[in-house]
């Protein structure tokens, strides 16, 4: 019994012990470094298949398990990403006998533990972010989350002593984007407030180096650097700059068309797919008192 109690105490102190002994999910070295960082803001750029989602899920569950009555909010770039993160959280919780007994409510957006802690996942909508007091704020694909959403989310940590931020993303965005700005601070001058990390795909112990070498020879350089090496490539070789693309994106709620409702005047556009891509028709119209967008 004493050994079990000691394991529980160690798991509350150390996310790596928590992941390995209670969840059966040993962390890789680069994951362990981020979760062990004492910095209040931890920022990660990541390549493909490097364990980013699992790291966010472990961070959320460790916070909920080790700090009773704590609140973790996971903000994702879109609804699909929000559901994916919560799916990862739920799957890890169900795989851990100790946590399985503690899960008292599980939906597509919330996991609650019997110790009073909750993990809530939402897409990047100011309406869903405002009003929370957060102990751990996690931002998934942070480079695709607008500055307006970030300014709505960050104040949520101010009322909780010891509250922290964990933001991760593939590298994207102009030099003045909030995520890139903070990541650069934590990379150039790590301190008690900011620490940053770069995870190329080769950081994963499961990587197929021969395949990575093949991609290096066959992929466009900018795509390889961004998707595999986790490097910002800015606008090199791009027809539209990142600023132009970001300025063309609006924070509109996506709604399905409603049968029998006349939309009136609409504006639309078609993205013609090539090879295995699908064609996409997008239209926007006024649905007073606000704009709505729909895609088919």
Q: Which residues constitute the domain of residue 49? A: 2-203
pLDDT confidence of 239, banded at 50, 70, 90? very low
Q: State the Cα–Cα distance between residues 122 and 85, nearest whole angstrom.
A: 10
- Considering the domain architecture, whether residues 267 and 172 belong to the same structural domain is answered as no
pLDDT at 227: 94
Residues 83 and 185 in one domain: yes
Looking at the predicted structure, is the pLDDT value of residue 60 above 60?
A: yes
In the structure encoding, which two tokens stand for residue 211, read together?
Answer: 């395949």
Kindly state whether residue 211 falls inside one of the protein's structural domains.
Answer: no
The pLDDT assigned to 257 comes to: 63
Q: How far apart are CA 196 and CA 40, in angstroms?
A: 11
Looking at per-residue pLDDT, the higher value among 198 and 249 belongs to 198
Lowest mean pLDDT, pick from 16-30, 163-177, 184-198, 272-286: 272-286
CATH code for position 63:
3.40.50.300
pLDDT at 4 over 90: no
Residue 234 belongs to a domain: no
197 domain residue, yes or no: yes
Task: State the pairing for strand pair 110-113/103-106.
Answer: antiparallel
Dihedral through CA 200, CA 157, CA 74, CA 205, nearest 10? 30
Report whether 270 contacts 281 (CB < 8 A).
yes
Out of 203, 224, 243, a domain closes at 203
Q: Are residues 14 and 103 in the same domain?
A: yes
Q: Are residues 59 and 193 in the same domain?
A: yes
186 and 284, same domain (yes or no): no
Distance CA 283, CA 266 (A): 6
Provide the pLDDT confidence category of residue 142 given band limits of 50, 70 and 90. very high
Count structural domains, the chain: 2
104 pLDDT higher than 60: no
The answer to whether residues 271 and 175 belong to one domain is no
In terms of average pLDDT, the best of 82-91, 221-230, 256-265 is 221-230
- CA-CA-CA-CA torsion sign (82, 87, 90, 95): negative
pLDDT tops 90 at residue 80? no
pLDDT of the residue at 258: 67
């Amino acid at each position: 019994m004493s050994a079990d109690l000691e394991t529980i105490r160690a798991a509350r102190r150390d996310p790596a012990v928590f992941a390995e002994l209670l969840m059966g999910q040993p962390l890789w070295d680069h994951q362990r470094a981020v979760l062990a960082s004492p910095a209040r803001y931890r920022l990660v750029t990541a390549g493909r298949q490097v364990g980013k989602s699992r790291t966010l899920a472990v961070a959320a569950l460790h916070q909920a398990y080790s700090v009773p009555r704590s609140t973790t909010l996971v903000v994702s770039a879109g609804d699909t990403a929000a559901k994916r993160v919560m799916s990862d959280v739920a799957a890890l919780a169900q795989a851990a006998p100790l946590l399985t007994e503690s899960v008292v409510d599980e939906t597509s957006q919330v996991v609650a533990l019997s110790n009073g802690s909750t993990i809530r996942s939402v897409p990047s909508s100011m309406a869903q972010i405002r009003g929370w007091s957060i102990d751990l704020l996690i931002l998934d694909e942070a480079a695709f989350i607008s500055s307006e959403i970030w300014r709505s989310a960050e104040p949520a940590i101010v009322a909780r002593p010891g509250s922290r931020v964990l933001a991760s993303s593939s590298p994207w965005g102009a030099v003045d984007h909030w995520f890139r700005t903070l990541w650069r601070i934590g990379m150039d001058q790590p301190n008690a407030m900011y620490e940053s990390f770069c995870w190329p795909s080769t950081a994963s112990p499961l990587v197929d180096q021969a395949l990575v070498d093949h991609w290096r020879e066959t992929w466009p350089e900018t795509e390889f650097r961004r998707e595999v090496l986790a490097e910002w490539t800015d606008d090199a070789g791009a027809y539209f700059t990142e600023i132009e693309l970001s300025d063309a994106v609006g924070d509109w709620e996506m709604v399905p068309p409603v049968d029998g409702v006349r939309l009136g005047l609409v504006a639309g556009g078609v993205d013609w797919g090539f090879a295995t891509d699908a064609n996409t028709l997008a239209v926007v119209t006024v649905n007073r008192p606000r704009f709505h967008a729909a895609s088919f």
